[in-house]
């Protein structure tokens, strides 16, 4: 049996979950794979093997050569330790005298020098690494804490901004320049930091993809209410989990050494074939670690090292010790702003943001009150009395008269316009606008910015629209009108933008699971056994390529006769072929064919 047929039989007998996991590890492209023979061919192809072998470290490569047929000894502690991983990557097969690599695997490794890669058989000396000094660690801890504080506050601003307006993605799933600029301004960071923090927030489950947009997930509100150290640990944990497992292990091992050129040289030695993926993944991941405050320069902070080691409690304690103590009081000023003399406690910050807009984020936080922001709080269930009581409880300077006047007037004015749903069934009258202020209704009716709502007056003194209640509410809200939504009983209700997502999230595509299911269905509909299927495949290839083959046939007396034939067709379990020596056409049952040999 050929190696393709042998591997195909192994794949066919494998558990579906194990097979899908193996294909995921191999990152195999699924195009053009119609049966298990195609799958076996793809797995043994050089283009598939090379990326897989490039991610193997020195121990795994040495194990492959130690298991190579004819090597003595073929087993040992290091080889045994590598076996589970090599099996999981479908790089070895089990033989009567023990496991050995597929010949195609060794053949591909032997091409590395011609590809400009180190010879994997050579034992190169391990490059040195340099340990971090105590003073270097202390300096790095302070710098990393500053970066971490910036990352966490910027991520919070990201969530508030995405809750206000979803993040639109390009067709290839990346962030376009206009959206990057919008987020950078809202987050108070430079544009290169935006994709890093967006990815970290998505990995941490704070953002959710729905179609071509990113929206705030259900978990983001809980994250915003946690202490600063826990918020940092959540996004940094997500960064660590997203690392390739082998890279995470080595970064944790080298947390006490200088990262940078020394670490890159060591990783290049550890992964002789990893020139391309190391350059892509390591540089990107180390840059992300810097922006998240896991590292500072080439030094891993104490909190970052603990996180990489899996000690979350120690990481929280180390990071928390470097942060300024959160404050619970602030100064309310005459210019309708509030200034906190330090990072505001999360619970107070969250409530304050319902009635004021963040106006600059640093160690000292600043907020601004506006008619719209107070109206937003009232729409969420606050009243002038509850807002003023909350502010009085956290203010170090009392409540300035301009702010008290703003809150009172904005609360009284909120809901001067009411929008509700109409149950009439008329497509031209889906929702209504009402107000006790006739002049305000007239202003809305002639506002050209609202022309898309198709508003028209009724005899009842209302305006009706062909748009639904939510669309009308948010257009008027964004146009700074004192709008409130009401239910069928006239009670004010809070509406949420369709951005913050409680929608059903589409599951991530699983191409390898779909491939295995497709192959199982195709195999179930195949009448012949695996041996006949392999013979039929070889004959089909000979027919397509118009190539003569040697067909071994078992005769009724048990003897084997070889025929040199030019296959014409395979159908109904029989081969029809021309015999050029006898110049006749032969028809042979596939069940009698024992082997097909090509030149």
pLDDT single digits (tens) 48-81:
999 999 999 998 999 998 888 555 455 555 788 8
Domain membership of residue 519 (yes or no) is: no
* 541 and 475 together in one domain: no
pLDDT single digits (tens) 561-592:
888 988 888 887 788 889 888 888 888 888 88
How would you classify the pairing of strands 331-332 and 337-339?
antiparallel
pLDDT single digits (tens) 89-125:
999 998 888 889 999 999 999 999 999 999 988 888 9
Task: Decide if pLDDT at 476 tops 50.
Answer: yes
* 71 and 191 together in one domain: no
Domain membership of residue 309 (yes or no) is: yes
H-type alpha helices, 98-255? 103-109, 134-164, 177-187, 193-203, 220-224, 228-241, 245-253
* 339 and 282 together in one domain: no
Domain membership of residue 506 (yes or no) is: no
Cα 78 from Cα 63, distance rounded (Å): 7
In which band, very low, low, confident or very high, does the pLDDT at 504 lie, cut at 50, 70 and 90? very low
Average of per-residue pLDDT across 184-194:
90
- The DSSP secondary structure of 381-447, one letter per residue, reads T--HHHHHHHHHHHBSS---HHHHHHHHHHHHHTTSEEEEE--S--TT-SEEEEES-HHHHHHHHH-
Higher-pLDDT residue of 202 and 593 is 202
Average of per-residue pLDDT across 343-360:
86
* 397 and 424 together in one domain: no
Domain membership of residue 465 (yes or no) is: yes
For position 599, what pLDDT does the model report? 67
Percent of the chain with pLDDT over 90: 37
In which band, very low, low, confident or very high, does the pLDDT at 500 lie, cut at 50, 70 and 90? very low
* 179 and 281 together in one domain: yes
* 150 and 274 together in one domain: yes
H-type alpha helices, 254-298? 261-270, 275-277, 283-292
Task: Decide if pLDDT at 345 tops 90.
Answer: no
Check which CATH number belongs to the domain holding 579 and give it.
2.30.30.100
For position 501, what pLDDT does the model report? 45
The count of structural domains within the chain is 5
* 78 and 62 together in one domain: yes
DSSP code of residue 506: P
Cα 434 from Cα 513, distance rounded (Å): 55
Average of per-residue pLDDT across 486-492:
84
* Helices (runs of H) and strands (runs of E) counted in the chain: 26, 22
Does the pTM of the predicted model rise above 0.85? no
Using an 8 Å Cβ cutoff, are 580 and 567 in contact?
no
* 404 and 428 together in one domain: no
At which of 262, 285, 320 does a domain end? 320
Domain membership of residue 507 (yes or no) is: no
Average of per-residue pLDDT across 249-262:
88
* 297 and 182 together in one domain: yes
**CB atoms closer than 10 angstroms to residue 367:** 23
Domain membership of residue 498 (yes or no) is: no
Domain membership of residue 588 (yes or no) is: yes
* 372 and 476 together in one domain: no
Using an 8 Å Cβ cutoff, are 109 and 120 in contact?
yes
At which of 115, 148, 174 does a domain end? 115
At which of 446, 478, 493 does a domain end? 493
Task: Decide if pLDDT at 510 tops 50.
Answer: yes
Q: Which residues contact 383 (CB under 8 A, 6 or more apart)?
A: 411
For position 363, what pLDDT does the model report? 64
Mean pLDDT across the chain: 86
In which band, very low, low, confident or very high, does the pLDDT at 428 lie, cut at 50, 70 and 90? confident
* 152 and 246 together in one domain: yes
* 269 and 405 together in one domain: no
> Domain limits at 75?
3-115
Domain membership of residue 509 (yes or no) is: no
């Amino acid at each position: 049996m050929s190696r393709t047929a042998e591997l195909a039989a192994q794949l066919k007998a494998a558990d579906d979950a194990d097979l899908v996991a193996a294909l995921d590890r191999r990152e195999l492209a699924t195009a053009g794979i119609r049966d298990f023979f195609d799958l076996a061919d793809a797995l043994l192809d050089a283009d598939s093997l090379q990326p897989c072998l490039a991610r193997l470290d020195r121990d795994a490569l040495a194990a492959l050569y130690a298991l190579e047929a004819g090597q003595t000894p073929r087993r040992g502690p290091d080889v045994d330790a590598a076996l589970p991983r090599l099996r999981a990557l479908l790089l070895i097969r089990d033989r009567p005298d023990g496991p050995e690599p597929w010949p195609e695997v060794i053949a591909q490794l032997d091409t590395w020098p011609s590809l400009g890669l180190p010879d994997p058989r050579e034992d190169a000396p391990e490059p040195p690494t340099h340990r971090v000094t105590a003073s270097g660690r202390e300096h790095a801890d302070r710098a990393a804490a500053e970066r971490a504080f910036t990352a966490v506050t910027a991520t919070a601003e990201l969530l508030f901004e995405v809750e206000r307006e979803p993040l639109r993605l390009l067709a290839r799933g990346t962030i376009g320049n206009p959206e990057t600029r919008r987020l950078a301004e809202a987050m108070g960071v430079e544009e290169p930091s935006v994709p890093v923090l967006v990815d970290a927030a998505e990995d941490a489950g704070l953002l959710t993809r729905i179609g071509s947009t990113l929206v705030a997930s259900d978990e983001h509100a809980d994250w915003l209410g946690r202490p600063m150290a826990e918020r940092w640990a959540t996004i940094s944990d997500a960064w660590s989990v997203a690392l390739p497992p082998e890279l995470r292990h080595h970064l944790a091992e080298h947390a006490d050494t200088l990262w940078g050129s020394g670490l890159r040289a060591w990783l290049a030695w550890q992964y002789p074939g990893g020139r391309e993926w190391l350059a892509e993944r390591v540089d990107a991941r180390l840059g992300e670690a810097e922006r998240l405050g896991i590292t500072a320069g080439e030094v891993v902070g104490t909190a970052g090292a603990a996180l990489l080691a899996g000690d979350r409690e120690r990481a929280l304690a180390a990071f928390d010790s470097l942060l300024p103590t959160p404050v619970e009081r602030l100064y309310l000023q005459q210019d309708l702003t509030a200034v906190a003399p330090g990072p505001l406690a999360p619970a107070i910050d969250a409530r304050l943001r319902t009635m004021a807009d963040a106006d600059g984020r640093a160690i000292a936080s600043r907020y601004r009150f506006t008619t719209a922001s107070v109206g937003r709080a009232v729409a969420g269930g606050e009243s002038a009395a509850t807002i003023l009581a909350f502010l009085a409880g956290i203010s170090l300077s009392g409540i300035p008269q301009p702010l008290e006047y703003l809150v009172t007037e904005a609360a009284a004015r909120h809901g001067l316009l009411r929008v509700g749903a109409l149950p009439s069934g008329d497509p031209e009258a889906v929702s209504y606008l009402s107000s006790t202020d006739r002049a305000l209704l007239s202003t809305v009716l002639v506002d050209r910015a609202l022309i898309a709502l198709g508003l028209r007056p009724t005899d009842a003194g209302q305006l009706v629209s062909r748009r639904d209640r939510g669309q009308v509410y948010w257009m008027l809200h964004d146009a700074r009108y004192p709008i409130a939504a009401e239910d069928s009983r006239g009670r004010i209700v809070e509406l949420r933008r369709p951005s913050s997502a409680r929608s059903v999230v589409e599951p991530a595509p699983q191409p390898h699971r779909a491939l295995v299911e497709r192959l199982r269905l195709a195999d179930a509909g195949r009448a012949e056994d695996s041996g006949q299927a392999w013979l039929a495949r070889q004959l089909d290839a000979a027919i397509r390529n118009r190539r003569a083959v040697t067909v071994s046939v078992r005769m009724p007396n048990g003897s084997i006769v070889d025929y040199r034939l030019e296959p014409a067709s395979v159908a109904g379990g029989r081969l029809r072929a021309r015999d050029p020596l006898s110049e006749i056409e032969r028809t042979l049952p596939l069940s009698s064919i024992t082997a097909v040999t090509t030149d």
